Amino acid sequence: MAYDTDAVRRVLDAAKGRDSLTAPEGRAVVEAYGIRTPGEGLATNPEDAVAVATAIGFPVVLKIVSPDILHKTEAGGVIVGVADGAAAADAYRTIVRNAREYDADARIVGVQVQEQLTSGHEVIVGAVTDPTFGKIVAFGLGGVLVEVLKDVTFRLAPTSLETARSMVDGIKAAEILRGVRGAEPADPEALADLITKVSDLVTDFPEIAEVDLNPVLATSTGATAVDVRILVDPAAAKTPVRFGRDEILASMNRIMRPAAVAVIGASGEDGKIGNSVMKNLVNGGYRGRIHPVNPKAADILGLPAVKSITDVPGDVDVAIFAIPAKFVPQALEEAGAKGVAGAILIPSGFGETGNHDLQDEVVEIARKHGVRILGPNIYGYYYTPEHLSATFCTPYDVPGGVALSSQSGGIGMAILGFSRSAQMGVSAIVGVGNKADIDEDDLLTFFEDDPHTHLIAMHLEDLKDGRAFAETAQRVSKRKPVIVLKAGRTSAGARAAGSHTGALAGDDAVYDDILRESGVVRAPGLNDMLEYARGVPLLPTPQGENVVIITGAGGSGVLLSDACVDNGLSLMHIPGDLDEAFRAFIPPFGAAGNPVDITGGEPPSTYRNTVALGLSDPRIHSLILGYWHTIVTPPMTFAELVVDVVEEFRARGIHKPVVASLSGDVEVEEASEFLYRHGIVAYPYTTEKPVAVLGAKYRWARAAGLL
Amino acid sequence: MAYDTDAVRRVLDAAKGRDSLTAPEGRAVVEAYGIRTPGEGLATNPEDAVAVATAIGFPVVLKIVSPDILHKTEAGGVIVGVADGAAAADAYRTIVRNAREYDADARIVGVQVQEQLTSGHEVIVGAVTDPTFGKIVAFGLGGVLVEVLKDVTFRLAPTSLETARSMVDGIKAAEILRGVRGAEPADPEALADLITKVSDLVTDFPEIAEVDLNPVLATSTGATAVDVRILVDPAAAKTPVRFGRDEILASMNRIMRPAAVAVIGASGEDGKIGNSVMKNLVNGGYRGRIHPVNPKAADILGLPAVKSITDVPGDVDVAIFAIPAKFVPQALEEAGAKGVAGAILIPSGFGETGNHDLQDEVVEIARKHGVRILGPNIYGYYYTPEHLSATFCTPYDVPGGVALSSQSGGIGMAILGFSRSAQMGVSAIVGVGNKADIDEDDLLTFFEDDPHTHLIAMHLEDLKDGRAFAETAQRVSKRKPVIVLKAGRTSAGARAAGSHTGALAGDDAVYDDILRESGVVRAPGLNDMLEYARGVPLLPTPQGENVVIITGAGGSGVLLSDACVDNGLSLMHIPGDLDEAFRAFIPPFGAAGNPVDITGGEPPSTYRNTVALGLSDPRIHSLILGYWHTIVTPPMTFAELVVDVVEEFRARGIHKPVVASLSGDVEVEEASEFLYRHGIVAYPYTTEKPVAVLGAKYRWARAAGLL
């Protein structure tokens, strides 16, 4: 149906200056969007109440209507189960008396008389204006129990019908709505329809800050919003400024692949940041032009220095700032005038130390000149395809397909150390620091098209514009896995709660739902993010959900199965013919089924035959290997045979993810490294990690629609 | 109140041969234990129904009574909300007609007329006979929603009032029972009392297999069991045979500290298991007498061989079997006659390959001779204080305080490799394999008093006698941490469900509750078990809950805070004077509070001063350090200063747990190892692991009553 936007506009205009709508106003607004509400009428005296109630039919509920009373129950302003006319008149009088006692100055418009619905599932549908994501819709089961268990799910508004259906199906207690123990089910279509209407309403009228339909009664034939609360706030209509995709790419391409960089504050003195940056550029092997800028030096590291960036002959793409914060504005004016695309602000002393004015000032200067800022308060960035180490840390030189970013310098250093230690091939490591300008969605936009990048992993503590990130991630994650470590997961969401939905929208619950909907794979911790980044790109994309465990140790098989369940992987049900095929290779007391337990003490040929079978049968999509160290098949023998058989199948065009857990004496460490180097994600002394990496691959592949 | 056990006995006697009690029988049984049930009476015709209902007071519920109809609702045998006499007569007729249609042969005793309770919280209280733990009681919120969410908790029966209270408080939705949004709270004492009564009932009458009080209506003044279902089964009264503590210790002391061992099937031939065992005994440095037994060799590895254990001069404590399974019974007879305390059955080919008869046979032989069996189907065992490597794997020689056991050989090898790689000091590594005899509670009993063992870590897939384990662990964990990795966590509990409580008692939920109640720290995975085993004994027991994070990287601080919440640790609220004291050491733009953010780029003195303050202030109980690699304070400088200051305080008698997360380039790996060697649990590239180990220490200390 078409929405009656004029009706909503009239109500909102009439409510200007207030921060909430009255119940009748709220009802008028949602009815204009085709949302069913109970029969009701406004009574302004006891006789009225009797007449309205009689017209609606008993039982009815009576509720105070006053712009000054938001918490009606607290004010004694609600009476339910009013069964006849006499009771209706009494209830009217009681409510008005209670309201006056609660707040003698409250303006009382009257008493709302409402049809009392007696059956259906209580659910809550709402919308709030999230500081990170903007308009979001919420759906959950209602009632006291669910309020305690906080079983609610969130999506960006506007939402499609399909997404709204995923909300109805996505709460933990979804089974209840399908009708258990013979109870009447709720109509999922009616609920999905209601959710999209609420999401359209807040999208069309962004000054609506919050909508709270609580409870909604859902039956097998429809859904009725019993109580409507709407908060309005002109500030809720504000949206952040954004750059277009082409603008972002134009800047980011020059920043990541500069033909010339200037180092403002370059220094020949050991221990200075401006010296470390120069050394890293030179020693890192950057082949573009490097211009040290220093008013007092003639040359630095053998390169001619200039007094100001203005004096550089020719164009400069990137200016790296290695000077104290207070000197940045002037130098940025000069860099802007020179036409740089990016200003890399290493110095601290901006927003993170409370100096927001200085940070705002440099952003303003940058905007004026069309310069994008990375930072401030960062270690810099690396882009290995250009051998570019624009940082005061140490150079990094193992090229590869993983792009990483971090909001914190400490985490950036952990990324660097882990990468070097694990010899992880990296395309880029970027510090975003205070994110005064360039943030994760700018990076995503660049990495999306960067042919050197196959996976993006990001550490973040917040998002400046969560909606821009979600929309970009949604697109990028279809092509490349996006891993996110969201720090501050557990901080109590200290949001001022103006409504039920608001109170339920704790920061992390919203992040979790919206990141998942965007196809992002969320890492539970720092080490997980690093391991996913290292392992996920090595694994080919699985062609289906059938995972098979082949193990030499029954004990590992049990733990690997646990890990599969923990990571949402499906252990394949092995059909009879395949079971027989496996049995042909394993001892009679071994177990086929899944895990395939080849038993300990088997020779290399048993591992080889079963792994080859797993790779050759098209019904199997992924393999998890559990190795048990024995004299008969030592660790390196196992590793070499697995690499051999996997490479044989790769040569035939058969690519399946293979991960391995190695149990044994210390030689399994070398064997695991050998396997890893050959694209088999393998770990010693853990059954959890290889399965977690495979699980991350699957989560991505599912979200990207590849399964 | 005293229980009327005679009344219960009469009902049970009358029900002999049946597997369930009728509703009136069930009611009589629980009433004999002082459990309140609704007013009710049996009607055998419609007029009766009217009379009984009138006496009880309306509304009433009518329910079919038939020994042949267990699922009353399904049979159309329940009508609720019967409001007056005419309705009662109608309901009687309807129910009997429905029952006849449902099962024409059902014996119909009559119709139960029951008081219909209209208020209170619906809860479920029950008891089942668990195959692992025996009698257990269950408590949960009732109703459809909770059935879906499975919010139930379990304890061993009999249970104390205090433990019963912990059940009422321990479910996820406990808040509901305390009364939210002005709802009437349930009386927790009445519920705890009801739980203990049910637990006493099944303890006193072990042939009661299951009790299901569902729903129980709980109000602020009491609790009433509305529906009672009781299943009986003589087999439910069986309890496993147990050894006494002194018996266990007498055997285990000889097994772990033998003066003489015989190797049955000792061999001089490389690659034979009997050869590996001999080499490991000799090369491992075992100083007791070693007797190779081999009918064909004169000497093995320079030691004189005997044809049979019977020929060994003097006593033998342990016989290690390295011969095929089929030869074990005869050799065990001889070993038994020789008076060995322990038979270490390395060979496979017993229960694990389906050969249960052979396994039963050897157990019988062992029992006859008073021999305890370790295995069969194991790698053997290590006990480093005696330099004893009674295994075909490689010797292990780093002595220390950790005792480990595994049910699987594969996991045993992972333990060995991890221990060697991490240089983890170990007192014992024991394979329990099929657990035909010696199991985890025998080991716990030995390690409890073993002065060399300070922590016990166990991998297990099942428990032969969960109750014996729980009771032993309860005692041992008061003195030493007990870490358990329970494999098979996620296997669908394929229990035949005869009742609601039975259906809810999934294997893992029961394990989880009962292990926790026994003071056991459960490790979520293999690597966690190994890291807890390594780290927990190094940390001193904290004196209180106040944890403080001191970090050089704000980003690490946020992730460490997340990890604290994940691991149930309390970030101390820093009082004003302490805040000032920290501020004196850190830059003005650093953040005091908790985490204490000293900011990056600080010199070693800032780390030193803040760590010293954390150690010296008695209100702080544990420290978590977040290090950020900088040129000003390189990794080893940080590590050395931390060790220095921690040792300074240790010398003054101040012992607090200190853990650290190191972010930086690869040098942080060496720094982490240096810290670990000095008792500071430190890891590179992860904020999660150090906090998880500290969390494990806290979980243990709380359960042991040390906090």
Number of structural domains chain B divides into? 5
> Are A551 and A685 within one domain?
yes
Nearest by CB: B556 against A147, A148, A410: A410
Q: Which residue has the higher pLDDT, B679 or A271?
A: B679
Q: What is the pTM of this model?
A: 0.91
Is A384 a member of any domain? no
User: What is the widest separation between alpha-carbon atoms in chain A?
Assistant: 99
Query: What is the distance in angstroms between the Cα of B448 and the nearest Cα belonging to chain A?
Result: 26
Binary contact (A665, B420; C-beta < 8 A): yes
**Tens digits of per-residue pLDDT, A618-671?**
999 999 999 999 888 999 999 999 999 999 999 999 999 999 999 999 999 999
Give the CATH number for residue B357: 3.40.50.720
Best mutation target, B149, B462, B512, B558, to test chain A (most A CBs within 10 A): B558
Q: Does any CB of chain B come closer than 8 Å to the CB of residue A421?
A: yes
Binary contact (A565, B414; C-beta < 8 A): no
Instruction: Decide: A49 and A92 in contact? Cβ < 8 Å.
Output: yes
Report the pLDDT value the prediction gives residue B500, as an integer from 0 to 100.
59
Query: For residue B278, which phi and psi values (nearest 5 degrees)?
Result: -60, -50
> Are B529 and B617 within one domain?
no
> Are B520 and B405 within one domain?
yes
pLDDT band with cut points at 50, 70 and 90 for residue B342 = very high
Binary contact (A552, B418; C-beta < 8 A): no
> Are A579 and A678 within one domain?
yes
Binary contact (B173, A148; C-beta < 8 A): yes
Peptide bond into B595 cis (omega under 30): yes
- Tokens encoding A552: 């030499």
- Residue B187 pLDDT more than 60? yes
Binary contact (B421, A688; C-beta < 8 A): no
Query: What is the distance in angstroms between the Cα of B83 and the nearest Cα belonging to chain A?
Result: 18
* Continuous H helices in A450-544: 466-476, 500-504, 507-517, 526-535
What single-letter amino acid sits at B599? T
Chain B CB contacts of A176 under 8 Å are 144-145, 148
Q: Give residue A179's Cα distance to chain centre.
A: 32
Out of B115, B146, B175, pick the residue that ends a domain: B115
Out of A215, A237, A259, pick the residue that ends a domain: A237
Report the pLDDT value the prediction gives residue A590, as an integer from 0 to 100.
74
What average pLDDT does range B465-484 have in this prediction?
A: 97
Binary contact (B411, A555; C-beta < 8 A): yes
With a CB cutoff of 8 Å and minimum separation 6, the contacts of B444 are B456, B469, B472, B473, B476, B482
- Kindly state the percentage of chain B with pLDDT values over 90: 81
Give the CATH number for residue A546: 3.40.50.261
Altogether, the residues listed in chain A come to a count of 707
Peptide bond into B292 cis (omega under 30): no
- Residue B197 pLDDT more than 80? yes
Nearest by CB: A413 against B348, B629, B687: B629
Binary contact (B687, A418; C-beta < 8 A): no
Query: What is the distance in angstroms between the Cα of B237 and the nearest Cα belonging to chain A?
Result: 31
pLDDT lower than 70: segments of chain A: 1, 145-146, 491-506
Report the pLDDT value the prediction gives residue B581, as an integer from 0 to 100.
95
Count of CB atoms situated within 10 Å of the CB of A503: 17
- Residue B496 pLDDT more than 60? no
Report the pLDDT value the prediction gives residue B499, as an integer from 0 to 100.
57
Chain B CB contacts of A459 under 8 Å are 555
Report the pLDDT value the prediction gives residue A492, as an integer from 0 to 100.
42
With a CB cutoff of 8 Å and minimum separation 6, the contacts of B560 are B549, B551, B595, B624, B626, B661, B687, B691
Nearest by CB: A173 against B148, B525, B666: B148
Query: What is the distance in angstroms between the Cα of B559 and the nearest Cα belonging to chain A?
Result: 6
Is A8 a member of any domain? no
Best mutation target, A122, A269, A413, to test chain B (most B CBs within 10 A): A413
> Are B53 and B73 within one domain?
yes
Is B24 a member of any domain? no
- Tokens encoding B199: 């637990």
Q: Does any CB of chain B come closer than 8 Å to the CB of residue A352?
A: yes
Nearest by CB: A687 against B145, B526, B554: B526
Binary contact (B410, A176; C-beta < 8 A): no
- Residue A228 forms beta bridges with which residues? A213
Is A577 a member of any domain? yes
Got the DSSP string for A219-256? -SS-EEE--EEEEE-GGGG-------HHHHHHHHHHHH
* Continuous H helices in B396-518: 409-422, 440-449, 466-476, 500-504, 507-517
> Are B161 and B272 within one domain?
no
Element at B97 (helix H, strand E)? helix B85-102
Q: Does any CB of chain A come closer than 8 Å to the CB of residue B668?
A: yes
Give the CATH number for residue B165: 3.30.470.20
Instruction: Decide: B445 and B470 in contact? Cβ < 8 Å.
Output: no
Q: Does any CB of chain A come closer than 8 Å to the CB of residue B631?
A: yes
Is A278 a member of any domain? yes
Chain B CB contacts of A411 under 8 Å are 553, 555-556, 559, 663
Helix (H, G, I), strand (E, B) or coil at A300: strand
Query: What is the distance in angstroms between the Cα of B410 and the nearest Cα belonging to chain A?
Result: 5
Query: What is the distance in angstroms between the Cα of A125 and the nearest Cα belonging to chain B?
Result: 19
Q: Give the mean pLDDT of chain B.
A: 93
The β-bridge relationship of strands B208-218 and B223-225 is antiparallel
Query: Which residues 192-211 of A are in CB contact (within 8 Å) with B?
Result: none
- Residue B465 pLDDT more than 50? yes
Whole-angstrom distance, CA of residue B51 vs CA of residue B71: 26
**Minimum Cα–Cα distance from A685: chain B residue:** B414
Rounded to the nearest 5 percent, the helix, strand and coil shares of chain A are 40, 20, 35
> Are A529 and A549 within one domain?
no
What average pLDDT does range B604-616 have in this prediction?
A: 97
Out of B218, B237, B256, pick the residue that ends a domain: B237
Report the pLDDT value the prediction gives residue B494, as an integer from 0 to 100.
35
- Tokens encoding A664: 């044994």
What average pLDDT does range B201-227 have in this prediction?
A: 94
> Are B252 and B367 within one domain?
yes
The packing angle between helices A328-338 and A356-369, to 10°, is 10
**Tens digits of per-residue pLDDT, A54-63?**
998 888 999 9
Interface size A-B, in CB pairs within 8 Å, comes to 243
- Residue B491 pLDDT more than 80? no
Is A27 a member of any domain? no
Give the CATH number for residue B45: 3.30.1490.20
Query: Which residues 562-621 of B are in CB contact (within 8 Å) with A?
Result: 562-563, 565-566, 589, 600
What average pLDDT does range B189-216 have in this prediction?
A: 96
Q: Which residue has the higher pLDDT, B42 or A504?
A: B42
> Are A545 and A664 within one domain?
yes
> Are A348 and A434 within one domain?
no
Best mutation target, A685, A686, A687, to test chain B (most B CBs within 10 A): A685
Lowest mean pLDDT among A545-559, B399-413, B492-506, B554-568: B492-506
> Are B111 and B129 within one domain?
no
> Are A685 and A546 within one domain?
yes
Query: What is the distance in angstroms between the Cα of A677 and the nearest Cα belonging to chain B?
Result: 19
**Tens digits of per-residue pLDDT, A358-408?**
999 999 999 999 999 999 999 999 999 999 999 998 889 899 999 999 999
Query: Which residues 38-97 of B are in CB contact (within 8 Å) with A?
Result: none
Whole-angstrom distance, CA of residue A156 vs CA of residue B270: 68
Judge residue B605's burial from the number of C-beta atoms within 10 Å of its C-beta, 0-12 exposed, 13-18 middle, 19 or more buried. Answer: exposed
The packing angle between helices B604-616 and B635-651, to 10°, is 30
Is B13 a member of any domain? no
Count of CB atoms situated within 10 Å of the CB of A119: 8
Q: What b/e string do you get for A618-630 counting C-beta neighbours within 10 Å, with b at 16 or more? A: eebbbbbbbbbbb
Whole-angstrom distance, CA of residue A419 vs CA of residue A534: 8
Domain extent at residue B506: 398-538
Best mutation target, A273, A389, A490, A558, to test chain B (most B CBs within 10 A): A558
Binary contact (A411, B663; C-beta < 8 A): yes
Binary contact (B487, A408; C-beta < 8 A): no
Is B391 a member of any domain? no
Report the pLDDT value the prediction gives residue B501, as an integer from 0 to 100.
61
Query: Which residues 105-164 of A are in CB contact (within 8 Å) with B?
Result: 141, 144-149
